[in-house]
Each structure stands twice: as structure tokens, then as C-alpha cells.
Structure 1
Amino acid sequence: MTSPSDPPTGGASPVVTQRRAWTTLVITGLIIGTAFIALYVGLQRSPQPSQLPIAVASTQLANTAQAGFGNAVAVTEVASIADGEAMVRHGDAVAVLGATSPTTLTLDYAGASGFSESGAARQLAAGLAQKAGATVQENDIVPLATYDSRGLSAFYVVFGVTLSSFVLAQGLTAATAKVRLRHRLYAMGGFAVLIGVIAATVAGPVYGSLTAPFPLLALSLTLLSAASAFTTKALGAWLGPAGIALAVLTLTTIGNATSGATIGVDLLPEWAQAVSGKLPPGAAVRAVNNFGYFDGAHTVAPLVILAAWFLAGLGFVLLRQRTAQRRPLTAPATP
């Protein structure tokens, strides 16, 4: 009987384990796993609103609300409840607070803003009413889709598209000796279109969970896939395995955890709010939700961000190819 270190019968040299080869993988896995758990669990421990946008009708009530809410709410005074409702439907405010009588407040909110944000607005309004000895009448004027009862469909779709695009790019990066660069780029581009259409079809017409118009939903998810795949490819081309690990941390871990799909953006810590909309998953969540619930308001910036990530990734991959071609043959690179 031969031991695992014995040479095979074909006469090939035995495999010699290099400690650094496996310890690096173990350490990388531990870092990614720890970061994933710490972010997803940590962000949901005790989310607190910070500058939650709420419209308030009348100057007196606005002053009372600002004093009562403090920094938790960004109060915007409006002339009437109808004006505030227009802001809510446009995605400029989570809710509008008004008074219909000295003892009755009305809160019209957007359930489509997510359970955490609309729930925070409702809780704050209830607390203010209790202090004033009043009651609150609530109305969800922008409700979630019937088949998205928890408001998590956008998160799962965005996560799935991001993860599948990362896996493809990782595999193509490892196949540089077998697949020419232009074919790898074609594969990622074609995959982005296909996964965008498939994800939009399943979540949209088939399940009815995302209400964005199909072409706009497919466009948003296609750009997300392209941004994720080409960014991963670029990081892998320039940094090797470390670049792939960085892509996991940036896209699938930090990007999805701070996207605002599970915990509303206005309930995230300041550092998470700062990066949320600038990373592909957060930009995609905004595009999908704004197209679906808020008449496409504020969707230009998310689409531009997704396109910028895609084009930057493509640019760095091509730049890596050009620099590799200029190197001596004794030091080939694998873009």
C-alpha cells in the first residue's frame, strides 16, 4: 500500500504540500466568514434611525416634531398633507405627518421603503402622539407588492445576481490558460444579459415579487451582473487570489449587507450609509425599488454607478492585458 505522499504508479513526482498554499486559503476563508457574520448580524442588532426623512404638515407640528425626534429624523415642512404625500410617492420622504384634529395625527407612509424604515417612522410618530395625548391614524400609501410581503425580494435577487456573476468571473480567472481573454469577456457580457433577463423574468412576471417594468428591471440586473463580474475579473487579474478575496468582501459581503434591502439605509451606521449606494448591490437595490415603487425617481445615479463599476472593471482588465504583453517572456502574466 502506498501512502498519500508516495509517487503514483505512472512515475510522476509526488505532491509536496506547501504550508503557505493552504494556510493562506484557511486564513482568507476565516476573514471572509468572520466579516460576513459580523456585518449581517451586527447591523441588525439595534438599528437606530438617523436623519430619517419625514415630511410634516404645518409649521407648528414641524417644530414640535423636530424637537421631539431630534437627530433621528430629518423634518421637511410642507404646506399640506397632500404635498407630503407627493414626496412620499416620489421617494423623497418615508412618511408625511399631519394633524386632522387637535387630538388626531395622521401618518401616511411608504411600506415599500422597507419594514425597518416605515416601522421606524410609525414608532416615532406613535411616541410623539403619546406625549401629546393624541392618537395616530396610519395609511400605507405606497405598499409592498402582494407577493413580497416582507420586502426582501430585492435583496435576494440582487444577492443571487451578484453571487452568480462573481462565481463566473472567479472561474474564468482561473481558466486563463484555457480561454482567451476576449472569449472570457464575451462570456461575462453574455452572462450578464442572460442572468439579468432570467432574474427579471422570475422575480417579475413569474412570481410578481418585483413590480418594476420588465425592461428596466432587466437593465438594472444586467448592469449589476456586469459590474460584479468585471470588477471581480479586474481584481483577480491584478492581485491574484487576494483580489478574488477582496471582491468577496467588497461585493457579496459589504455590498449586500449595506445595500439597504434588509436594514433601511437611514438606520445603518454612518460608515455603512457612506458606502451603501456607491457599491453595486446598493445601487441595484435602489434602482429596482425606485423603478418599482416610486415611478422611477432617483434612478439615474444608481444606473450610472453600476455602469461605472462595469466600465472600470473592463478598463482595468484590458490595461492588465496590455501591460502583460509588454513584459519579457520570462515573466508572463495572466490577466
Structure 2
Amino acid sequence: MSGNELKYIEKVFESNYIAPLGEYVNKFEDSIKNYTGTKNALAVTSGTAAIHLALRVLGIDKGDDVLASTFTFIGSVNAILYQGANPVFIDSDKESWNLSPKLLNKYLCECDKKPKALIVTHLYGQCADIEKIANICNLHGVYLIEDAAESLGATYNGRHTGTFGDFGIYSFNGNKILTTSGGGMLVSPNKDWIDKAKFYSTQAKEPFIHYEHEEYGYNYRMSNVLAAIGVGQMEVIEERVQKKREIFKWYKEFLKNCDEVEFMPELDNSRGNRWLTAMIFKKSDYNEIMKALEQVNVESRPLWKPMHMQKLFKNNKAIVDGTSEELFKKGLCVASSTTMNKGDVQMICDVIKDNLI
């Protein structure tokens, strides 16, 4: 917490306007618009809800194909299933660990059934090659949804992730760079689409004094209380990004002579938020390093298991070249809390070095 969250929550309670909407929902949406440069924003209950609304507004329906990054968290693709659509997974490239524009273009040039949309994840806060990806989608008439759940504050050529596509989404879950304990934001340059998403997010109530419904909707709007937390958090977003990037630099400094360690790359002309510091070990077993870190009460996690390797998606189409499988086999996310200091990082790096082959 940054300091002003409690003050804003107290103002919410003083107003006696707790949920589902209120002054701070509007303020939170405005703060995201002002920070990212997006034209329209909608505060919702989660990043997954935001993706679901985007798919619904774009008319994604049963039997449609939707492309998605395979190297991601399942929340990025669950909403495809909510709509009865079929996920088609695209592998990563080595240059960014994010979705490969080369594989994407190859598939779109050769596929028999054109996908309706692509959900591309900006993994661990690092930018995908988003300009190339956006151009490919535009060329092939495929809607682009940016999953920027992990990358608030990341930019490509000075432009914020989440603002290149037809829709962008952010997440404010408890582990994100900005948290409202739970929540998300849907953004788009298209006001009509955001208005439609707002309609669906509030149970698709028609504009009558009584409850009139012609379509089904969802209970997806963020509460005024959580939005108040978000407003306080947004006041320090740049400080958070700078601290995350500083933590990453400390890891690089203390592990600079370890040829065994390779960090997640950052594309030229981009600035990731380094939400998590991610690395791979060329020969060492990351499980042994995890165990050693646990002994000193430091949590770490393997990189995401690719979606095409999950039993849930065993029958889904995947365009892969082994990149994400290799990263999953060798990779680890290490502690990256903004409460850490340089000494904490040095201690963690000493444990890592002591357990390398």
C-alpha cells in the first residue's frame, strides 16, 4: 500500500456509497486513461472478466477460433471457453519470450479457418513485439486483445501496452504491480465498445426504471471501495515500475558472472515493468534452487507451464516450435517485491550461485 489508500477508503465510507459504483470508480478509470493514454476505460472485477467482456463485445461465439499466447497464465484464455470458442495457441519467440510474430503470420497465411481474434500476453511485464503483431492482425482482419494484466507501466516506442489493440486489459490482483486486492480494467479506443461492455457488466439492464432485460449480462463492475484503493495505488505507479526495474538490475549485477543464468530479454525500444524477475538456468535444475531458497524463507516459482501442455487443452490446435516448452523446463521467477532492498537481492543471488552446477 502506498499511503493514501486508507484515506480514500474512509472517504468512501463517509459517503455511504460502497458498491457497486461511485465517485472513486470514475476516478480510477480516469487515472488509467490519463496514465496510459487510452481513450476509454471500464473498471471491472478482474482481468479475466475484462477479457470475457472484450470477446463478448467483439461477437466471439461458439465454434469460433481465437488465437492466444501459449506461454501464459490460464486466466488469459479461460474467457475463450466461456464463449464456447476454441483456443488456438501460438508459441513464443526467443527474442522476447512472448508470442512469436513469425509463427503468428505463418499460421494466418496458411490456416483454413480464419480466427476471429488474438489474445496476446505481455509476459511478466515485458513487452511482446506488439507493433509487428498489431500489423499482422490488421493485415489479416483479426481483432487484437492485449492481455496487459502483468504489464501496467510497460511501454513500446513510448506507447503503453494495452493501447495497441482493439481492446486492452489490466489486472489488479493481489500479486500485481498495482493491486486493489482484486480487480481489472478494460480499455479501448472505441467508445461504443466500452459502452457495450459496461452494459454487459451490469447485468445488461435496459434503460427503464424497472428491471428490463433483452440480453444476458454479468455482475462484473468494480466496487467503489476497491476503486478507492486503485486511485491511491495509481499515485505511485511510476515509483513501483522504477523499483521493479531496480530490483532486476540488482539481480543482473550480482549474477553478471554466471554464464549459467540467462534473464528474460527486453526488446529494443521497449521498457518493461519487470513485474517479476524471470531467468532460466542452462544446465542447473531449478527445482534444487527453489528448495534452497525455501530454506531461507524466500518464495520462487517455475515459469508458466504452456497452455498447449495442459490436459485441459490437449485437443486444441497449437503452433509451436519448442521455445515455450524449453523455457518452462529451465525457468524460474524469483522474489521481486518492491519492499526488497539490495541486501535481500544479494542474499538470494548468493543462494542461487551456491546451487548452480
Whether TM-score is above 0.5 comes out as no
The structure in which a higher percent of residues are strand is 2
- Structure with higher RCO (Cα < 8 A, 6+ apart): 2
More helix by share: 1
**TM-score when normalising by structure 2:** 0.23
TM-score (norm 1): 0.24
Which one has the largest radius of gyration? 1
